[in-house]
Amino acid sequence: MSLYSQRGVSAQKEDVHAAIKKLDQGLYPYAFCKMYPDYLGGNTKVVNICHADGAGSKSILAYLYWKETGDISVWKGIAQDAIAMNIDDLLCVGVYDNFLFSSTIDRNKEVIPGEIIEAIINGTQDFFNKLKTQGVNIHYLGGETADVGDVVRTVAVNGTMTARWPKSKLITNEKIAPGDVIVGFSSSGLASYETEYNSGLGSNGLTSARHDILSKYYAEKYPETYEPKLPKNVVYIGKSRLQDEIAISYELPSTNIGKLLLSPTRTYAPLMKIFMERYFADINGAIHCSGGGQTKCMKYLPRNMRVIKDNLFDPPIIFKLIQQNSGADHKEMYQVFNMGHRLEIFTNENTASKMIKVAKQFNIDAQIIGRVEASSKKELILKGNFGQIRY
């Protein structure tokens, strides 16, 4: 059993998928988000979308960093995580403007004071204001803040995002076909609309990242940050502390482990807005490589076909640290983490080259990372200096 499973989490969420298999899959079963008729307005030419996601266990890292340093600004990053994980899912069905957002914050009032709630709420609005300068409008409808100390040990930050969108402007993944190339857009670096280096981690696999990298010091000092029934050999098994310095590159001489782990999730909204306005007709599919990492695309293939990814990004340093500390093999790493790109678009080679040029204008690395071939079954093959992995 993998360390990920031993910690009570699942990259593939098989039991969740089994629980929902009898539910209505919506109008477009292979689309990245579920979509329904316009029950709100009765317009047969538009769909309604309501999507929920959040920062996951990343809020525990923010809690640790805040307790150790007193730096409350990290909570603004958690607000961004909860938003980006929602909006980037919706980007993959083509929605890029006029979102409605409602936040859900569950806290243990004994350890999470009001100033943290204020930082999260203000951070939410600050992020919306930043996206507005990029032409992406999100309307904040408030939400629910609940004191549920019997349920959560620290705090959980989540949200729900709603949109109403024309059917004629949807990405449903039904057009994905052999002959497509796949463009990957880097999850790390410093995009033109970001203010500091992004490690690329996003908001998936943070349970593993936290326990694999950080030392037993945190288990002993902050027992409220983990499930006490977990085996001790999977709890905070790393060698590092949050404030340990680490070199990144020539351009960014150093940062610390905590900042790498807490890099706010990058949103691709400014990029996708341009893609949808210029190249919509050539977008055959879009995948947000969140839970499930590089295997995420398998769930959304409309027919039997083979996806080959043989020109992947070199994994950013945060993933190398996780692997070095955990000893996880490449197969597990690539199905838990994004490993270098969180957005991939299925298109033709000509459009791919245009998208890559646009991404460069935002200082986001992009490249053709793979292709789609005919096959008698759905399969994924990853190739790199690690060899070949088949899913």
65-99: per-residue pLDDT in tens?
Answer: 999 999 999 999 999 999 999 999 999 999 999 99
The total of other beta-carbon atoms located within 10 Å of residue 313's CB is 20
Pairing of strands 138-147, 99-107: parallel
Q: For residue 277, is it within any domain?
A: yes
d(CA 361, CA 266): 16
d(CA 311, CA 246): 27
CB 58 within 8 A of CB 81: yes
Q: For residue 86, is it within any domain?
A: yes
Q: For residue 218, is it within any domain?
A: no
CB 165 within 8 A of CB 94: yes
What is the residue-level pLDDT of the chain in tens, covering all 391 positions? 566 566 566 555 566 556 666 777 789 999 999 999 999 899 999 999 999 999 999 999 999 999 999 999 999 999 999 999 999 999 999 999 999 999 999 999 999 999 999 999 999 999 999 999 999 999 999 999 999 999 999 999 999 999 999 999 999 999 999 999 999 999 999 999 999 999 999 999 999 999 999 999 999 999 999 999 999 999 999 999 999 999 876 566 679 999 999 999 999 999 999 999 999 999 999 999 999 999 999 999 999 999 999 999 999 999 999 999 989 999 999 999 999 999 999 999 999 999 999 999 999 999 999 999 999 999 999 999 999 999 9
Q: For residue 343, is it within any domain?
A: yes
The H-or-E segment that residue 349 falls in is helix 349-361
CB 121 within 8 A of CB 79: yes
pLDDT for res 139: 97
Q: For residue 251, is it within any domain?
A: no
pLDDT for res 11: 52
What's the half-sphere exposure (Cβ side, CA atoms, 13 Å) at 150? 0
- Widest CA span of the chain, in angstroms? 58
CB 288 within 8 A of CB 185: no
342-361 pLDDT tens trace = 999 999 999 999 999 999 99
Q: For residue 203, is it within any domain?
A: no
Contacting residues for 43 by C-beta, under 8 A, at least 6 apart: none
pLDDT for res 23: 72
Give the sign of the dihedral formed by CA 14, CA 265, CA 76, CA 62. positive
Q: For residue 179, is it within any domain?
A: yes
pLDDT for res 195: 92
d(CA 91, CA 265): 14
Q: For residue 217, is it within any domain?
A: no
Task: Determine phi and psi for 79, rounding to 5 degrees.
Answer: -60, -45
Would you call 313 helix, strand, or coil by DSSP?
coil
User: One-letter amino acid identity for 25?
Assistant: Q
DSSP 147-207: E-TTT-SSEEEEEEEEEEEEGGG---STT--TT-EEEEEESSB--TT-SS-B-S-TTSSHH
The residue behind tokens 């037993």 is: 216
Q: Which residues constitute the domain of residue 8?
A: 3-195+262-390
How many domains, the chain? Answer: 1
Contacting residues for 114 by C-beta, under 8 A, at least 6 apart: none
Question: Which pair of structure tokens corresponds to residue 310?
Answer: 């043989």
Q: Is 227 left (phi over 0), alpha (psi -120 to 50) or beta?
A: beta
CB 292 within 8 A of CB 334: no
User: One-letter amino acid identity for 335?
Assistant: Q
CATH number at residue 344: 3.30.1330.10
Pairing of strands 181-186, 366-373: antiparallel
